[in-house]
Structure 1
Amino acid sequence: MTQPYLTGHYTPHVDEITARDLLVEGRIPPELTGRLVRNSHNPKPGVTPAHWFKGSGMVHGLRLRDGRAQWYRNRWVRTPALEGAPYLTEHGPDLTASTAGTQVIEHGGRLLALCESNLPFELTAELETVGPYDFDGRLTTAMTAHPKSDPVTGELHFFGSSPLPPYLTYHVADAQGAITSSEEVPGASAALKHDFAVTERYVVFIEGSVTFDHTEASGIPYAWSDAQAARIAIMPRGRGGAARVRWFDIEPGSLLHAANAYEDREGRVVLEGPAVDREGFRRSWNWWTGRPGRGTEPNSRSLTHRWTVDLGTARVTESVVDDLVVEFPTINDAWLGREHRYQYAVSFPDDRGLGGYGVVKYDRATGARQVREVGDGRLPSEAVFVAAADARGEDHGYLLTVVSDLKQDASQLLVLDATDLTRDPLATVHLPRRVVAGIHGSWIPEE
């Protein structure tokens, strides 16, 4: 248990528990009625995966209602991989042999745990595993862990990627969860495609300088390649859009998570998100695999970038927006695909050990940045935005973040006022254990 992803904030749990009627300090806003569900890599006791991302998925849920924290529970996603089943078999890839440890979402009344190389796994509202879900047989590829739900149409946009042809397949499901279209995207390569974005008229894919490498021994067969062209693809939305996709070269780098994309007043496509250079990827990958030469954090040299694609001139302008090391960008999802003003993230110490963990808010109109530090030995989770019941503006709502506290060996859910991170938490929910630092999660309101 000496690997960095099995120690400190990332120490895995050895059991599943359920706790009820949790202690609450402050006041939970009444509109926070639903479940905060988070996913994490949590190998079973005695299992040491060769890569952080190979750890089996464990979901953590917290149910809020009527100002109370009714329950917390954690459950492994019971997939074949949890019992040691291999992904590659004599018959080819087993899309059900998933860690299911990256993200968890709700769509069309189904709660789905996701891992980008596999089918999703359906869970009950109490986080018990139902089984793999293939959209009634319509999904024959893997599914990205970062689907996008259009706030206007209710459609779910997602893709399946593969290191072998077809490299990229784009899917759309309607608001009820039925897949309405699937298209192979021409021109794609074996480059890693972890996240993507949608705007009102386009789908935006990102291929960075990380590509398939069969010699990588960690079980995640990808590596940085100077020969792999970094590119952005702009594809019109709607059936038949894949035939009109355009690819644009960008500077070498790797982006794991897109904050958002939109079309500006000049019709240009703007994409933002934290990205790393070659050295940053090397240090991060070495942390993820426990190799020498790693950084002290899982995200090294990860800085917010902005790409502006002029479709008329075919020119791409790229800039570094901020010098703060951040990851896990989020927004108010009502602005997904539209020009947003506010953006949130988690900050990490930089390569010199300067800075610390915190929740960050960016005002893209003024350039202002707020950082709410959470204290020594405390790591916040990805901040999930929930709108206030009487919201009058984009940032009128709450940020939900679960803090791992090493000194107290405990965790708390903080309910922060998204309009002003300098304010004390509106509510603090004391969880029954220190929750392992996870990856992504969702707020699922009760209808």
Structure 2
Amino acid sequence: MTADKPYLTGHYTPVTDEATATDLTVEGTLPPELTGRLLRNSHNPKPGVTPTHWFKGSGMVHGIRLREGRAEWYRNRWVKTPALEGAPYMTDRGPDLSASTAGTHVIEHGGRLLALCESNFPFELTPELETVGAHDFGGKLRTAMTAHPKEDPRTGELHFFGSSPFPPFLTYYVCDAKGEIIHSAEIPGATASLKHDFAITRRHVVFIEGNVTFDPTEHSGIPYGWSDQQLSRIGIMPRGEQGAQNIRWFSIEPGNMLHVSNAYEDGRGRIVLEGPTVDREGFRLSWNWWIGAPGRGTEPNARSYTRRWVVDMAAGTVDEQIVDDLAVEFPTLNEDYLGAENRYQYAISFPDEKGFGGYGVVKYDRTTGARRIHQVGDARLPSEAVFVPAAGATNEDDGYLLTVVSDLKQDASQLLVLDASGLDRIATVHLPRRVPAGIHGSWIADDSLAATGN
């Protein structure tokens, strides 16, 4: 049965147990400032469970603990949610927001580690990846929470949203640096369009609605599908208490974007937004891969190309263009530049539908237009490359990229530490097992968890 489910085979083959290993082998030299945890989340159904959609697999977090040049441990743990034991999302009383896969992302905010899935409450974890339980911010979170919150690097505030296929379609939240929700608002004009990610700038919040929207006839367990009748739009909302009543929506070309690279106000006050985007055929290929249907591509990101939108609010216009012909996903950056104009962006490359490209870690120079690729090798798929600033950094790309490689030939995985400026390999940490290809993760420095005493 799993042979028809590409998300349960190859790089995506689930692991069947939880493990812990210590004193990992390191090749090269780990920079001593890498003292913390690299955490990665993934969909990993329990043995004997075959989900109908990749996103329906139970969440499993993999962690690698680095300290002052040593790789102290690797461990993996399922997120112990009611859904892991089969609890349904829909009940007689409506959705159970605690019945989460918790398998999309894992972040730290206010000293808490949170495993995220956009249709549910977050789940708190210990620094050793044991599950604490659902976290609703003291009852102030009234909706699901996006898996892509944005932490403002200047204020430490966490901006996020909850979306629903039913009214209210979109609710916006701001959480202070200590982890308390201080503002929430329902966003007028939003629709049932799938809103997976969004952006913040210094002065605005940017929402994206694509052609993928609620579809009750979709029976994969994820009730969304492409609709030519659903308008693609960008919503620009001023930050602040009164922002929701002043949101403006701008029509854009058909498409769907899952992940934002960044957004900012340029020197003319225009909003610049970038991120990998698929067209109708690209979405069809990806969706069929996600559910194991005929007509799928060999990769879920085969037609995912970076697109740029420039929104001139004074003129009421949007200029948009595809800025690169390489199929990429999982964009990242030095998050000190989140919401501000950035020169460098990173992503993971995939083979496109014609086989062009291949697996690699990509660096873009937005000033010169240059593109550099660190090829990881045949049958080796890297994870989302997480940027960690170097000690005493003075340039935007002074730092490291951390990526976990799934190696099918060796049935193994390694943590690669790359120099973010030139993409040269600095160190390799050999892991005790092959880590399945997953979705998102974070670097959690030790001082981020200091408030918890861990």
Q: TM-score, normalised by structure 1?
A: 0.99
The equivalent residue for 1:25 is 27
Residue equivalent to 1:399: 401
Partners of 1:446 and 1:354 lie apart in 2 by 40
Q: After superposition, where does 1:147-186 map in structure 2 within 5 Å?
A: 147-186=149-188
Match of 2:291 in 1: 289
Q: Distance in 1 between matches of 2:78 and 2:250?
A: 41
Size of the aligned set, in residue pairs, is 445
Following the alignment from structure 1 to structure 2, what is the Cα–Cα distance between the partners of residues 355 and 302?
12
C-alpha RMSD over aligned residues: 0.4
Q: Distance in 2 between matches of 1:80 and 1:318?
A: 43
CA distance in 2, matches of 1:334, 1:272: 17
Residue in structure 1 matched with residue 444 of structure 2 by the alignment: 444
Question: Could you tell me how far apart the structure 1 residues matched to 2:100 and 2:53 are?
Answer: 14
Map 1:108-187 onto structure 2 (within 5 A). Answer: 108-187=110-189
1:69 maps to 71
For the residue of structure 1 that corresponds to 2:267, the secondary structure is: coil
Instruction: Tell me, yes or no, if structure 1 residue 49 matches structure 2 residue 59.
Output: no
The amino acid that maps onto 2:436 is V
CA deviations on 1:184-242 (whole Å, 9 max, x unpaired) are 00000000000000000000000000000000010000000000000000000011100
Deviations 1:17-56 (A, max 9, x none): 0000000000000100000000000000000000000000
Tell me whether 1:433 sits opposite 2:445 in the alignment.
no
Q: Which runs of 4+ in 1 moved over 3 A?
A: none
Residue 230 of structure 1 aligns with which residue? 232
For 1:21 and 1:389, the matched residues in 2 are separated by 24
Correspondence for 2:352: 350
CA distance in 1, matches of 2:323, 2:38: 30
Q: Distance in 1 between matches of 2:62 and 2:51?
A: 21
Distance 1:203 1:390 in 2: 31
Paired residue for 2:60?
58
**How far, CA to CA, are the matches of 1:27 and 1:240 in structure 2?**
50
Gaps of at least 5 residues in structure 2 are: 448-454
Task: Provide, for residues 40-87 of structure 1, a one-character-per-residue CA deviation record: whole Å limited to 9, x for no partner.
Answer: 000000000000000000000000001000000000000011011110
The corresponding residue for 1:102 is 104
Q: Secondary structure at the match of 1:426?
A: strand
- The one-character-per-residue Cα deviations of 1:314-346 (angstroms, maximum 9, x if unpaired) are 100000010000000000000000000000000
Q: CA offset at residue 136 of structure 1?
A: 0.6
Aligned to 2:341: 339
Q: Structure 1, unaligned stretches of length 5 or more?
A: none
Report the counterpart of residue 388 of structure 2 in structure 1: 386
1 CA distance for matches of 2:119 and 2:184?
17
Mapped to 2, the partners of 1:355 and 1:340 lie a distance apart of 25
Deviations 1:83-103 (A, max 9, x none): 111100000000000000000
Distance 2:355 2:367 in 1: 30
* In 2: Cα distance, 1:148 partner to 1:136 partner: 20
Match of 2:445, as an amino acid?
P
- 1:291: Cα distance to partner? 0.0
Question: Residue 22 of structure 1: SS of its match in structure 2?
Answer: coil
- TM-score, normalised by the number of residues in structure 2: 0.98
Pick from 84, 90, 103: which aligns with 1:88? 90
Structure 1 CA distance for aligned equivalents of residues 105 and 357 of structure 2? 27
- The reply to whether residue 317 of structure 1 matches residue 319 of structure 2 is yes
